[in-house]
Structure 1
Amino acid sequence: MLSGRGRLVRVSTVPAPSRLAWLDALRGIGAMAVVAEHLLPWFLPELRPYWFSLGIYGILVFFLVSGYIIPASLERHGDVRAFWVSRFFRLYPLYLSVIVAVLALAWWVPVRAEVPRDGSAVAAHATMLLDVVSVGGVADTMWTLSYEMVFYLLVTALFLVKGHGRSGLLSMSFAAGAVAVGLVASGAVLVGGLPAYVSGAVFVAGLACVVWGRFRTASACVLGLMALALLVLSSRVPWLGVAVVAVMFAGTAIHRWERGDGGLWPVAVTAVLVAVAPLRAVEGGWWWVQADVWITTIALAGATFAAGMALRGRRLPRVLTWLGLISYSLYLVHHPLLKYFVQVTGDLRQAALPYQLMMSALAVTLVLVISALTFRYVERPMQALGRRLSRRGARRLQGAGDPRMPGQGARHDGVLGHEERQVPDRVRDHVVQGDAAG
């Protein structure tokens, strides 16, 4: 086209790369690392790395991304109700679908022994607070959702009492807490079904108040304090839970540093404390908490996140951003699918390498196809429903003269949603063009 001075100016029709594609790519990398962690021992045990933990690496990347993005979106819009409506329709539909599928096929592949056969399992699954009440999930990967939920409860309480700006201090405090808890606690202090039942009742009542606006701040504070208590007193591995929350607040601190609201030194302190947390712990528990493995895993996760930030604004491989788009489905469905696959094929650990490779490719293809389908037919429609309900609720509250939190704009219904467009500093919630645990 011609410019104002008569010069020919070439106008590119190729869309610019999304400034948030790096977050999608990180989720894609994290999701596939967790898939590989669970696939290799069953399909290609000789290829499994032991110098770092693939699974913990992927989970730490997820937690850094959640910490970076969740508080930023909530603070931008200031609508706690929209936040929780979005979280419910983002997380629960697929989560409940996987639970139903696993239970329906329990006649073929029994439910894990770690899942109690009583009401405490129902209460713990209803709140997603599984690991922090020492209840196993029907799908192995569901334990990380406990810490996502704890983080949401803490962030909500901090936001409402205006204490959310001290992310660096929070990350260092939780990291120091992980070291201290590791020195004195080998496991849950509160055991049995009581934590699951009590937390379930408080969770439902408290969130009802938070969503509908009755005693909102007081209820959010009660939920936040409950989350802290569960984290320290009834978690399966208390030091690990506290360290995970430290990592998530470190992600928030990175975002604040990026927009000029803080320094990076709290993130460095947090990393050092988290690195040493299990080294003197009363109960280590797994091979991946050995000093060399644990520190290498943390370093790789941090380096991956830093590399993603360094590449923000650049065009990234579409396969990574697509994997990020379906990452929640990938994360939840892959482990049950791998179990069913092995149930059909039999033990592959002693099979010939070509056969192992062929079966691995088939299994990964199956996981990707099913994950794409669950994203298309479960996640995306339910996210759209959540946005519609959020908009209707917002209109009713506005008509009733509901006061709005500072910073809440007219587009608040998109908070943490599929179509988010107006968030500052290159921040949009979760997957670009498709919205956690994460």
Structure 2
Amino acid sequence: MSPAAVALPPKSAQAARLAWLDALRGIGAMAVVAEHLLPWFLPELRPYWFNLGVYGILVFFLVSGYIIPTSLERHGDVRKFWVSRIFRLYPLYLSVIVLVLALAWWVPVRGEVPRDGSAVAAHATMLLDVVSVGGVADTMWTLSYEMVFYLMVTALFLVGKHDRSGLLAMSFAAAAVVVGLVVSGAVLVGGWPAYASCVVFVVGLVGVVWGRLRTVSACVLGVMALALLLLSSRVPWLGAAVLAVMFAGTAIHRWERGGGRLWPVAVTTALIAVAPLWAIESGWWWVRADVWLTTIALAGATFAGGMALRGRRLPKVLVWLGLVSYSLYLVHHPLLKYFVQITGDLRRADRPYQIAMAALALAVILAVSALAYRYVEKPMQALGRRISNRSKLQGRGDPRMAGEGPRHDGVLGHEERQVPDGVRDHVGQGDAVR
């Protein structure tokens, strides 16, 4: 029996100790839903002193950075990690794509999606935003940065550099500042980055999963992900900032376990705070100094509050919302479009009617999310575990990272409308749902 196995606490203790992560996901998910729901149902209630959606995704990215690398390090098995990721992400993702395309006769696919093969290639890899391709569902853009993070973490793990989270966080934050000052948009344009990255992604991932030239394949994928992030993203400084946030989450975890210091997180935060203030590509309301700084502060305070409450009993509704957060984030925006298509523009309706319709829309979203989790996510995750468990572990993992329950390393729910398909505010008070 490995040292990591000996160190594992009972499952009930693990669940109680890590419930705070699910609670944070629940808070982030509802912030995202509120950011999309309020402008179309109760526009007067939408806050503009901070950005609900960006707040939600910052919380999500912090949690993802906190837990994802430890999942890989705990098992020490790259194949198992990637089989888990594929079965965690793709089934629901593909289901939502099919739904949106099937109903395109009623609610057309958004104009940001190219009508050529580059859209297919970008959706196949999930690298949508870093190859400047819009997703068929608005909320899919954040998956691009999750995927870049996975690719880079895998490469770092295999070359033994995965413990430098603080340095990586500061480096990406500094890159966000520099790139913002010198780059006004994607350097690599056109459809070819989507095609080329799709070929490299498929071939490289086969090498990583099946073990042929695993380290070489992972390094090629990591370098490709970094190049796409900085050279072909819709908003390159934002991509670098997102990776800085995620590695900051990892650095916090290492500090908590006594494997690192906290000052790199403070430096990262300061750099991210100033990154958009002088960026060439900026000017949207959510990156005004007062709004941006307040949003960052609230996201950081929320994550810190969650950590302070870890191990304590938390509201079950928040924990449940976190459990279904991936379904919630992928399905809610298409459902809102369909709902408004039926009800018509509600922004000038009587307040009681607005409230009633908002409550009904939220109930539908939560019900569909619960069904998607129960009948799509959960069975496919179980299938992924069965497949990955058929192979021997590549290694014993890192005993320092033991104790994280497998349920808690899932990808997080995110939202799109603010960035970077929304380099303008797509849900401004004069817009229509599309």
Same topology, TM > 0.5: yes
| Aligned residue number for residue 22 of structure 1 | 20
Helix, strand or coil: the match of 1:230?
Answer: helix
- Conserved 8 A contact 2:145-2:242: yes
In structure 1, the partner of 2:107 is 109
Q: What is the aligned residue count?
A: 402
Q: For residues 429 and 276 of structure 1, do their structure 2 counterparts lie closer, same or farther at Cα, with a shift above 3 Å needed?
A: farther
Describe how 1:234-383 pairs up with structure 2 within 5 A: 234-383=232-381
Unmatched tracts of structure 1, length 5 or more:
1-14, 399-403, 410-421
Letter in 2 for 1:383: Q
Question: What corresponds to 2:404 in structure 1?
Answer: 427
Alignment-mate amino acid for residue 278 of structure 2: R
Are residues 435 and 95 of structure 1, via their aligned partners in 2, closer, same or farther at CA, if it must alter by over 3 Å? closer
Alignment pair present for 1:436 and 2:434: no
Give the Å deviation of 1:215: 0.4
**Structure of greater relative contact order (alpha carbons < 8 Å, 6+ residues apart):** 2
Q: Residue 78 of structure 2 corresponds to which residue in structure 1?
A: 80
CA contact (8 A) 1:115 1:136 kept: yes
2:384 aligned partner: 386
Residue 389 of structure 2: SS of its match in structure 1? Answer: helix
- Distance in 2 between the 1:70 and 1:54 partners? 24
CA contact (8 A) 2:170 2:244 kept: yes
TM-score of the aligned structures, taking structure 2 as reference length: 0.90
Classify 1:235/1:437 alpha carbon distance in 2 versus 1 (closer, same or farther; 3 Å). Answer: farther
**Structure 1 position 253, deviation (Å):** 0.1
1:43-82 pair list within 5 angstroms? 43-82=41-80
In the alignment, the residues of structure 2 paired with residue 73 and residue 66 of structure 1 have an alpha-carbon distance, to the nearest angstrom, of 10
Partner of residue 179 from structure 1, selected from 168, 177, 180: 177
The corresponding residue for 1:90 is 88
- Cα deviation for residue 286 of structure 1 reads 1.9
The residue that corresponds to 1:129 in the other structure is: 127
CA drift at 1:435: 8.1
2:325–2:413: 8 Å Cα contact kept in structure 1?
A: no
The code of the aligned residue for 2:65 comes to G
Tell me the SS of whatever aligns to 1:240.
helix
Partner of 1:401: none
Instruction: Compute the displacement of 1:437 (Å).
Output: 4.7
Is this contact kept in 1: 2:23–2:319, CA < 8 A?
Answer: yes
Which of structure 1's runs of 4+ aligned residues deviate more than 6 A? none
User: What is the aligned partner in structure 2 of residue 416 from structure 1?
Assistant: none
Are the counterparts in 1 of residues 129 and 233 from structure 2 also a CA contact under 8 Å?
yes
Kindly provide the amino acid, as one letter, of the partner of residue 339 in structure 2: F
Quote the Cα distance in structure 2 between the aligned partners of 1:373 and 1:362.
17
Q: What secondary structure does 1:373 align onto?
A: helix
1:407 to 391, 397, 406: 397
Q: Deviations over 1:144-169 (max 9, x none)?
A: 00000000000000000000011000
Deviation, structure 1 residue 285: 4.4
Measured at CA, do residues 428 and 435 of structure 1 come closer, stay the same or move farther in structure 2, by a change above 3 Å? farther
Contact 2:251 2:260 in 1 (8 A): yes
Is contact 1:324-1:431 (8 Å) kept? no
For 1:385, what is the secondary structure of its paired residue?
helix
Deviations 1:158-212 (A, max 9, x none): 0000000110000000000000000011110111100000000000000000000
Residue 187 of structure 2 corresponds to: 189
**Distance (whole Å) between structure 2 residues aligned to residue 41 and residue 115 of structure 1:** 23
Q: Which residue of 2 aligns with 1:215?
A: 213
Once residues 430 and 286 of structure 1 are traced to their aligned partners in structure 2, the CA distance between those partners, rounded to angstroms, is: 37
Once the two structures are TM-superposed, the CA of residue 427 in structure 1 deviates from its matched residue by 3.0
User: How many Å apart are 1:431 and its aligned residue?
Assistant: 3.6
Show the 5 A alignment for 1:31-42: 31-42=29-40
Q: CA RMSD in A?
A: 1.6
Q: Equivalent residue for 1:414?
A: none
CA distance in 1, matches of 2:361, 2:59: 24
- For each residue in 1:403-429, what CA deviation from the matched residue of structure 2 results, as whole angstroms up to 9, or x when unmatched? x335279xxxxxxxxxxxx962x5334
Amino acid at match of 2:69: P
Specify the SS of the correspondent of 1:20: helix
Distance 2:110 2:411 in 1: 30
SS of the residue 1:361 aligns to: helix
Q: TM-score, normalised by structure 1?
A: 0.89
Aligned counterparts of 1:406 and 1:203: Cα–Cα separation in 2:
27
Could you report, residue by residue, the CA deviation over 1:69-117 in whole angstroms, capped at 9, with x for unpaired residues? 0101111110000000000000000000000000000000000000000
